[in-house]
Amino acid sequence: PAVFLFGPSKEELELKKTATLVCTAGQYKPRPATMEFLVDGQKWTNGVYTSPITKESDNSYMESGYLTMNVSDYSKHDNYACKVTHQGKEFVQTMKRSEC
């Protein structure tokens, strides 16, 4: 799969006082794939939402995951990752809060 991880916007951090990370996984087949967020290397499940899987015109699949936390929790951690597992292989995208 093609996996991408996007950090929160400056506007969200300042105005809403929340931080939402978005992970997308696409161009994979067959189903299924699993998606999880890691925070400082640990699986994170609180505040995670995964959208329904969609089938693309080329018969591949795509899904998105969202991790939302308050700014104070977001500031306590630096290493964020999205891990997608498909057919026994792991695809990981990472980001550092300190570099955003």
Model pTM score: 0.94
- Give domain 2-99's CATH architecture: Sandwich (2.60)
Query: pLDDT tens digits, residue range 44-94?
Result: 999 999 999 999 999 999 999 999 999 999 999 999 999 999 999 999 999
Alpha-carbon distance 55 to 3, whole Å? 16
pLDDT given at position 100: 82
- Break the chain into its structural domains and give their ranges: 2-99
Residues 3, 84 contacting (CB under 8 angstroms): yes
Alpha-carbon distance 11 to 59, whole Å? 36
pLDDT given at position 72: 96
Residues 15, 73 contacting (CB under 8 angstroms): no
